[in-house]
Structure 1
Amino acid sequence: MSSTEGQTIMGTDDLAGGGVGVDNIEASRVSGTAVYNTEGDHLGHIHDLVLGKRDGKVKYAIMSFGGFLGIGEEYHPLPWETLKYDERQGGYVVGITADQLREAPRYAADAAPDWDPEYGRRIDDYYRPAYL
């Protein structure tokens, strides 16, 4: 892959691995990608993605935040549309501070939520309209 004036160009070697284009990526490659705030501070990394069971669309990115060596780490579901990919940083950018994130809906690694509509509304209500 090469870059020309900020535009990513896919080479034939890039296409051989999965047939994705500039605007597409395999879900497995999103996991582990860094997440930054708009000031460039590293907040965490993408742990997982939540998909709509019926429509197959990405609904939330689960970002790991805090902790040390995996101890005390919390997971924050971020509405997918709050994340923008920044090629220069090689990660996603979200318009939220670390302090705001500490107040956001989250869960411990051993206490995954039920992904019912009420939980989704709670997440969406926290991030809208201030951050979307």
Structure 2
Amino acid sequence: MPTASGHTTAIRATKAVGTSVYNMNGEKIGSVEDIVLDKTDNSIMFAVVGFGGFLGMGEKYHPLPWSSLDYSKDADGYVVPYSKEELEAAPAKSINELTRDDGLIARQEAYKYYNVDPYWN
């Protein structure tokens, strides 16, 4: 079933992981490194977007609310409504740190920072 923007409502995680992520100016900012799932209510907590660094060295991992990623066929990737400066200042941690405490702290920080309505309320 398509969503309001014409996308299907289902996607395999293996298809989303590795997909490029762009800002609104069309600049590639990174790629989806992982997707963190909430097992208690069957929802996606956040996407882990990696950017910066070189050959895996110095890369930052940012939790982005899944609802903020909009797939663009033209870009062949996800587009997020954030500037490069907003993303550089956003919460970033190692992937292990993002999932510590069941990912709840990272989820709270991300939704608050990006001012996205929490899905869990």
TM-score tier (shorter): 0.7 to 0.9
- After TM superposition, the runs of 4+ consecutive aligned structure 1 residues lying more than 4 A away are 109-113
**CA displacement at 1:122 relative to structure 2:** 1.5
Unaligned runs of 5+ in 1: 1-6, 9-21
SS at match of 1:107: coil
1:41-97 Cα distance to aligned partner (Å, 9 max, x none): 000000000111112211211001100011101100000011101011110000111
Cα root mean square deviation, aligned: 2.0
Q: 1:45 aligns with which of 12, 31, 35?
A: 31
SS at 1:61 equivalent: strand
Could you tell me which amino acid in structure 2 is paired with residue 121 of structure 1? Answer: Q
Q: Does 1:123 align with 2:110?
A: yes
What is the DSSP-based 3-state SS (H/G/I as helix, E as strand, rest coil) of the residue aligned with 2:14?
helix
Q: Which has the higher contact order (CA 8 A, sep 6+)?
A: 2
- Number of residue pairs matched? 110
More strand by proportion, 1 or 2?
A: 1
**Which structure has greater helix proportion?**
2
TM-score by length of 1: 0.74
- State the structure with more CA Rg: 1
